[in-house]
Amino acid sequence: MRHLSANEQRNCWLLAGVLLLLAAITALHYLTSVHLVPYHVVYRSLYFLPIAMAAVLWGVRGGLITALLVTALHLPYMLFISHETSDSLLDNILELILFYGVALLAGILSARQQQQRREALRMRTYIDGILASLPIGVATIEPTGKIALQNPAAVHLIGKEVHDFPYPIQQGYSECQWQGRALGIHRSTLSSALGDVITIEDLSEQRRLAEKIRQAERQASLGRLAGGLAHEIRNPLGILRATAQLLATRLQNIPEVTRYTQVVTTESDRIDRLISEILSYAHPRSLSLEAVAPGPFLEQLLQDCQPYAEQHSILLEIERRDNLPIISADTELLRQALLNLLLNAIQASSPGQTVTLSAQQADTALCFAICDRGPGIPDTIKGRIFDPFFTTRDEGTGMGLAVVARIVSDHQGSIELEERPEGGTRARLCLPLQKEQP
């Protein structure tokens, strides 16, 4: 036997109530003396109650069916009994017609109300769906201070109900720091004294992007300035080096002159290498893209750097992974960037420590990681680590990581240096994967 649903059970109880009410009114009608006309007029008027109830509950059809049932119940009285009293047949007929009129009117009004209720529910569901999909938090506050509505983003951004937010939310726009997020909060008054609406937006990503743009603009300006200076310096530097070589040739019998000119030549070569790095940063070459298999590429990089690592008593390891996707990159520039990061990791490590190379897929990018167990990067310099000419080593030029950042940017990739929980630094260089051809 099928169990009735809650709605079906409710309808059954309501139907039983309407039928019971009809039976009670009819019993009063027929058990009362026919000569008590005022009572019969009242009882007949009571039939409007179940008719209206049926019309409200089940629409026009329910009202008309109930009116027909009332007609069947009242017809014997109207045809055979009412003529013995002063209760006229015309009054009874008019009241029967009125029964059907009430059924129609109540049914139509009920149908309209139900339609409006369904439309309001549909609109509420539609609005709730929009609010739930918004990345910004939205909350409305009644004039009494009660929260009328708030979407999930509002609770997510502040971690609690809006009325429990510890910072006072003033009219207009304000910003605050909360749980590591930069929040922009705007409060305005709704029309017709309906209360206030509050919007909450997470500004952290915007600020991070703005900082990246400012950093890129600063680096570009420094690069242009450095490129111009490098060209101006290289010409007199070449003359200085040529003069030193000429003196060394003509005065080679004087040991002091030979020694001093050798110093000039060596330092000139060092300055020339620095100028080459500056020019490489300021005027990067166009990319020559080709398919790169990460596994063999890292193996070759490790072999190239192995002698330098052995010289510093550092062990190099590769975390090998199968089925890595092919990427599209300029092989020489990618090698230059990873080699620079690898040399930095070796220089930051103590003898006997291990530097690990790895590659893995992360969503739509392939990420190379170089991990060391050195002292890490102080928080005070993290924001400047990729700036040109910034270095923490006496013998450094400050151009290595700046060139790495430029190479990664030219590949539409990303580069970040982060602390490792077990100590040391992880350099993470990510390049986008090749797009599949349709």
Q: Which residue has the higher pLDDT, 35 or 54?
A: 54
Which residue did the predictor score with more confidence, 41 or 163? 41
Q: Is the pLDDT of residue 82 over 70?
A: no
CA quadruple 90, 92, 97, 98: dihedral, nearest 10: 120
Q: How confident is the model at residue 437, as a pLDDT? A: 42
User: In sequence order, what DSSP letters do the residues of 33-50 get, joined into one string?
Assistant: -TT-HHHHHHHHHHTHHH
Mean pLDDT of 199-205: 81
Q: In terms of DSSP bridges, do strands 365-371 and 425-432 run parallel, antiparallel, or are they unpaired?
A: antiparallel
Name, in order, each residue with C-beta under 8 angstroms of 340's C-beta and a sequence gap of 6 or more. Answer: 400, 401, 403, 404
Structure tokens at 255: 């040991």
For residue 102, is pLDDT > 70? yes
Residues in the chain: 438
Q: Please provide the average confidence, as pLDDT, over all residues in the chain.
A: 79
Q: What is the pLDDT of residue 2?
A: 59
Q: pLDDT tens digit string along 332-360?
A: 899 989 998 999 899 888 898 999 999 98
- The percent of residues above 70 in pLDDT, for the chain, comes to 84
Max avg pLDDT among 68-82, 91-105, 328-342 = 328-342
Closest Cα partner for 156 from 130, 188, 124, 134? 134
67-94: average pLDDT: 69
Say if residues 426 and 410 touch (Cβ distance below 8 Å). no
Which residues have CB under 8 Å from 28's CB, separation 6+?
A: 43, 46
Give the integer Cα–Cα distance in Å for 196 and 231. Answer: 62
Q: Model's pTM, two decimal places?
A: 0.50
- Cβ pair 21, 50 in contact under 8 A: yes
pLDDT at residue 369, as a whole number:
92
Q: How confident is the model at residue 168 (pLDDT cuts 50, 70, 90)?
A: low
Query: Is the pLDDT reported for residue 254 higher than 70?
Result: yes
Please, what is the end-to-end C-alpha distance for the chain in angstroms? 56
Task: Spell out the SS3 assignment of 251-272.
Answer: CCCCHHHHHHHHHHHHHHHHHH
152 contacts: CB under 8 Å, gap ≥ 6: 132
